[in-house]
Structure 1
């Protein structure tokens, strides 16, 4: 019975695998991607065009290497697969005045060639050949030859680069050329024959698509098609990056053998890829008419005449051997999937799982941990810039402190961030634990940390960058709080833990203090840890960290980014004393009370910001910094406010007060203070010696 059940389970799983196709960047391997033309991998993203400081004309494609079934033929007619895809992309240009190109999501029968650059977007050839493709283009170049509506639109291309339907992205306040991270959802209903395209800066899918149309794909796709992206430039320095991609189709890619590559090499305009070859008929299944019975068949006939007992024995034995076969098949499949070569892992930036580095490799990368390679100091270690000798990739290597706390931080960070997947989280590439050393290896962030961009850069960080960064951090926190299998509380949100990539996109890092808890479960009490100015008052009092304590810290970051002031400011004379109005949150509350909120805007911006956005940002910071944690918004709500999909809640003119009874407080009144990188980290608790009837207000500790 057990063997039969195992075999049935195997059959069911095999059937399920054949009825749908699902993948994303977290599951792709190097062999699962086909990069053509100028397409390449860089810092965990897929680049469709070349990274050149001089103008260039070129095109590239990145395709899922396995063909996906889109069409099935039957007596009642063809049926088309339904599919959904989500991807995050950015378009940047070192010289904004140069002509662009654009990129497109692509369904193509061809997996081996790239079309022409410029307005052709690498989709089709300039010599007139178009091929049988379907694409959703994101065009940054207005070309009258192709009837483009402008240089900032989305369009649906069927068999050619003249769009069948187009929509202006300016209507939803999305600009493809700002370098901001843009999210897109493309959904096709095969039964209804409708295509919907949604675009947003937010990670929340808009209620209304920017483009919707009726489209019968059965006229344009073959049984099997390749899916992926195409991009191009035309005498420009524009680059096109795919930061994240997931795809799901109702038809499987493995329900029949894939078509031979030769049939996909040179498709014509009048045809699509041929059907995959039919299975060869089994000669054993249809015996020849004049075939004589063999001894084995005679034996089978005798068994059949042997009665129910013999039949049961045959069935039982058959089920047993089938179960063994199924187990062997599962084992072979598991080995095939899991047995990725180590050399492939070394070359694959899209794989989002940390690996183990050797101490020798990291020592060489940092020139024996040379002091000239130091790029930062944290509470539990020093960070070095390194160049991996095996690949030449630039990385950041964190050398953890030689103490128990540093080891705990290492284990916490490795266990938590190693399982997280989000475009606004700093990717942990790997780790090393040799020779008594604990080392963590991260992606290199060329623009450093947010605090350095705010306070140490010679040029002020532009308002557009600040706005984009805060959206990115909010997106990362919404993922940690609400979208992970277990809720993750970061506990150390601050500008020095927010890194900036080459496009000034935020990457939240340093998970040394982070905690995982089950959704809906109350957090355990601990000694409060973090950095003064970012710590929620109730967290200092109770030691219980939850998502609302992270929201408070995020609010402090928002006010810091908007005002250009640190959350706790010391006397500039170097005495170490706090200056008047040293607490940023309190200072902004006082300005709001006096009706002078806009006074908080960073003077270094020189007035070059949108006043409405600035006021909105400051109000969001105050809403997140409410003393009562229950009145603070969720991070998902914050995202909606930042992108204009929801109004900012009414913030009272006077800061509300909040009090706790001492029966709620759990520890003794002792502060352990240590200074890291100019900021004060505190572990605070309140004495249980106080009377249970006494109350302490939040203002007493802020």
Structure 2
């Protein structure tokens, strides 16, 4: 085999070796998992996309369950001295239906066995009292203090190595985590196969904490087989504890650097002559014979001729290669200059608009969202789709808004970017960064683990408690007071509604979606624009004039207040409210009618079953009506609303009968017909107005 051929073969072998190492890696997340890709043992079951590990019973019972990824993960392979590194992230909750009963807990598990499950109680489904199961590695989140297993308390995380007596343990109370709170808890686990570093982070937040709660050097040689199954195990001990996994992602890989650092192959001559290494060279003092010298010269002459031919061929190849390379470089430079010119035109604009948040690359966000996988979609806005993403750099969980490609979508993107990028308030959704590449417009926000307020009100299995509702309303009011009166320039949101109010891990309100927002100087009269927003939340004067003011935001907030207090959507089919079945009922009008009849307390959400302070409920409902007053000048400021909600100011007197507006009868009929025409309270309506002629055209409902 000639040297060039050998080099080519060697290169191919190196490439194949690299791809072997890459393909040995495993990667998946909960968005792509199905019942077919999970193996469920014991009481584990999949329900509506949530993995539940133990029985869901209101009566005390002992239960154990195990859920594993159905395909084994390679952790060792020939030629690599170190085991695979892995990272995993999961969101889980532990709920106790009967607080007086005790629990046990759950664990993340690596096991060579996918067929058996351990006992309930303190064994966490990992093993039994007489078990001789194959070695395993587990990270336990223990909710039961069991003296037999040397537990420090009933709220800790520990590393278990073939035993439920933890090798390392950390008290979660030290970082403010209560496993039995029922709240969603996030956990990150990382293992470096080269350094043997093993770390665990735990937080209520989607942002990975700076410091791990537990960190150690873990020698896994005794516990890892070539292939292991990964998943979860949980148990209860005569309790009503429920263990749920809401999200899970996992990735493993082998260090490619190890293969590159392997000893180099023997010299090329040795490979071309397999016996060369076993034949000793002649001593240098022995001169060759005459015949040997002649033969050597002959061979040398032939070799020199061959070398001349090869040199000519090589020169030709090099020349041709240089020409092709020059053409390629020229094309690349031309393409890059065009791309930079096109991108920089936007980026210079973006850098002027927004300086604080980070500019992400398209590759980062594409990786974070698994190529914008449909299973990662967590919401749809008026001008784009929102995906759940895991940033590869630091493991943070984010929401990535992929704006629509229409000109309107780009305008809304620029509006949102320019406004929210400069805002800082604890009750606003934080913008982490943005990206504009490959024709894509992307915004990156903090992910709110408890979703939107409308889902918490109407889609949750248990009603949102009254204290949470009061705290949320106060948070939104505080955010609007900041936008209206505390910013350098006044910001009018124009789309206040429950689906744009997000809830963080503590059910604190975070107002988001500034795509329709407008920024003006304080005390400056607003210009008439195309009225936009969602029916049921729109102030009547805004529909007529197209002028968005802080008072139109106040009206929208009033509708939100009544929605939160009553548990009814702002516009919904009236099945039992006294009207004809199937006719759209306006929430604001309905609450005004109850107030007129002296039955305002009847507006309270019946699902709360009276679990609220009647005085607080009445105050909140009156605040909602005051904000929904037909006369914009009579509505309170948002700063005043904050004072009313905290009890520092009295709610203004709200007349029993809803005051009449200054609009003509035809205008009133128009407003009613517009509101009755929309039953989907998430629909965005755009209305073109002409203030001189008072003519109206109903636009598209997006």
TM-score between both structures, scaled by the size of structure 2:
0.47
The higher radius of gyration belongs to: 2
TM-score between both structures, scaled by the size of structure 1:
0.47
Select the structure that is richer in helix. Answer: 2
